[in-house]
Structure 1
Amino acid sequence: MQADFSYELVFDSAGFQLAITILADREPVGGQLREDAEAAGFRILECCSLDEFASGASGALGDLVLVDCAEADAAVVALLSRLDMRAGKSGAQIVVSTTMASLDAVFGCFAMSGAQILVDPCRAERVIAIGRVLAHVPNLRLRELAEEDRLMLLRLTEQVGKIAERLEGLSPGQREGGGAFRFESPTQTFAQQGEEYSASREKPPQLPAGDRIRRMIQARQLRARFFDAELFADPAWDILLDLAAAKSERRRVSVTSLCIAAGVPATTGLRWISQMVDAGLLVRIPDPHDRRRAHIALDDTTVDAMARYFEAIGVTAEELLAV
């Protein structure tokens, strides 16, 4: 049975039907996006290629912008950056489909709008992305679906739900009984100088050498030879380990590389990265040589937390790692 994803028409607070702009160079994908957008209750404001939109034939931007970008040359990157700026100012939401080869260039374009970026998505994943947008519109009702369609939607949304659940409530810095970081209070020693006392704290731990962290990563990956890899899927920790090793090696990490290190599908890895940036665990760093690109790194507080973790398990900058 063909799934019916149709919603009732969606309206804003003023009673106007929400509009959508669809930009796609691949005709089959553009056709699917149009069908799904209409089924979701949006009014099609524009449906054209990226080049046509960039030519200025239409200056309007919908409440939702769906973009299919398989290749990101200089002209496309410039257009995406403008869309990000316009959406960031207007409040429009953006969903971008791209390929693994173009991920770094596309990711670097979106810093203001909070765009959903999908990597080599299937049609169902695009529908789910539209559904996440509709989730913020009140009083919507999804038509009844067959049981197998319900199960399909449940599986597709499960990963997003897990990310939100595991990272819910995380915030930068320290919080009593919660938060992204939990630190023990540093001990203090006192040195007597005549009648005066000076308090000095222990030197904060440093990250171990990158190759030692890499050995931990390799040991984690080795489990997949003997067990189902999904049993040990922990993308957040794999991301932290990879970035810790890169920090120790003074090496920059691209988004594409980090998605691979996460050990999950690229779109899922990208969601984890975005959530961890929002939680203050990671930071987005513009490429100093190419402002259209961005790298991901550990926040300074996260570096300290990772160093304390390695010290707690006996892996320090001074000690050898025993695997």
Structure 2
Amino acid sequence: MATPFGFAGARTTPFVLASMDARGGAAAQEAIALIGGALNAHIALHDAPTALAALPDPVPVAVFDLDGAPDELAHDVAAIVAMLAQAQAWRCVVAMGVAQIDLVIAALGDAADEVHLLCAPDQAEWIGTLAVVAASGAGVVRAADGQREELARLSADVARIAELLARLTGETGGGRAEDHHRAFAPAPAKSVITASTVRDVLRARRLRDRFFGDGLFEDPAWDMLLDLFAAQLEGARVSVSSLCIAAAVAPTTALRWIGKLTAARLLVRAPDPEDGRRAFVALTDAASDAMHRYVATLAEARLPFV
């Protein structure tokens, strides 16, 4: 474990780490060393605005470990990351605790899709994410067409190493988020379907894990769409952390899927007008219409809703 893996791009990529203090971010520091990267600077989150502005070229990968940061500081640093990411100046990685999901996503806003997000990451997730970021060049999250095949191969290698590390260390991807649904005016019904029926489908899907074990039936995209569909029928709003629960996967994986579904224009994020430190997620109009048409088509064909 002391020998760096030496992923392509890591040795030529400078990393900058911001954590609560100089002793913090130990897991990130270890991951950078393991992939053969160089930690050019380690700064305290409190000093991030001034310290980041003073950093010389070349443009680094900026890693922000918000674990342990007070809410106000985590929110302010995430807002800084949003500006950096939207300007496409740096590649940014943000790690957070489960309890910080909503306030960090709210502060990032639309820039959440341009940032690599980690939630309660284990060592394997740190290594995998930093290796991919180092290899992705200046393209932030979305690689150019010519890079995708190379990144796909790298991701496969990272996955194998991550699995090995997980077995060796016995670490897991962190805790669970707290569920928060908030009421608002219900959407008009478009098909003969109730929220109770959708919730029953979700409960039935979770029962499979009880009998066959976790990890065999992961389908976070569909689980998220079902949860949001049920919430729409109930007249409820769904927070980002609540949607991570519905995904029934590790929080980091759930956040990635939220990003994918948002990019596919199936989900939309919106800030809470009453609390700027929370963001809600909902189906887009197109996704809602597709769900209703899907249910109606199943009913017409006399097929089960699963």
Indicate the residue corresponding to 2:16 in structure 1: 21
Q: Residues of 2 paired with 1:288 and 1:260: CA distance?
A: 23
8 Å contact kept, 2:13–2:134: no
For the pair 1:152 / 2:152, whether they are aligned, the reply is no
**C-alpha displacement at 1:155, in angstroms?**
6.8
8 Å contact kept, 2:268–2:284: yes
| Structure (1 or 2) with the greater helix fraction | 2
Query: Aligned pairs, how many?
Result: 259
CA gap 1:43/1:210 in 2 versus in 1, 3 angstroms: same
Indicate the residue corresponding to 2:64 in structure 1: 67
> Greater Rg, structure 1 or structure 2?
1
Q: Which amino acid aligns with 1:5?
A: F
8 Å contact kept, 1:3–1:149: no
Alignment of 1:96-111 (within 5 A): 96-110=94-108, 111=110
| Identity in percent | 33
User: What's the TM-score once normalised by structure 2's chain length?
Assistant: 0.73
**C-alpha displacement at 1:255, in angstroms?**
1.1
Indicate the residue corresponding to 1:115 in structure 2: 115
Q: Residues of 1 paired with 2:63 and 2:3: CA distance?
A: 21
8 Å contact kept, 2:22–2:42: no
When the two chains are superposed, the root-mean-square deviation of aligned CA atoms in Å is 3.3
**C-alpha displacement at 1:3, in angstroms?**
4.6
Q: Residues of 2 paired with 1:27 and 1:58: CA distance?
A: 15
Alignment equivalent of 1:79, drawn from 77, 80, 85: 77
Indicate the residue corresponding to 2:241 in structure 1: 256
**C-alpha displacement at 1:42, in angstroms?**
5.1
Alignment of 1:1-323 (within 5 A): 2-7=2-7, 18-25=13-20, 29-37=24-32, 40=35, 44-54=39-49, 56-60=50-54, 62-70=59-67, 71-110=69-108, 111-112=110-111, 114-137=114-137, 151-153=160-162, 205-206=190-191, 208-314=193-299
Q: Which amino acid aligns with 2:61?
A: L
User: What's the TM-score once normalised by structure 1's chain length?
Assistant: 0.69
Q: Which amino acid aligns with 1:152?
A: I
Q: Which amino acid aligns with 1:60?
A: A
CA gap 1:52/1:245 in 2 versus in 1, 3 angstroms: same
Q: Which amino acid aligns with 2:54?
A: A
Q: Residues of 1 paired with 2:3 and 2:293: CA distance?
A: 50
- Give unmatched runs, 5+ long, in structure 2: 138-146, 151-156, 166-188
Q: Residues of 1 paired with 2:206 and 2:262: CA distance?
A: 24
- Give unmatched runs, 5+ long, in structure 1: 12-16, 142-147, 157-203, 316-320
Q: Deviations over 1:282-303 (max 9, x none)?
A: 1111211223431111111110
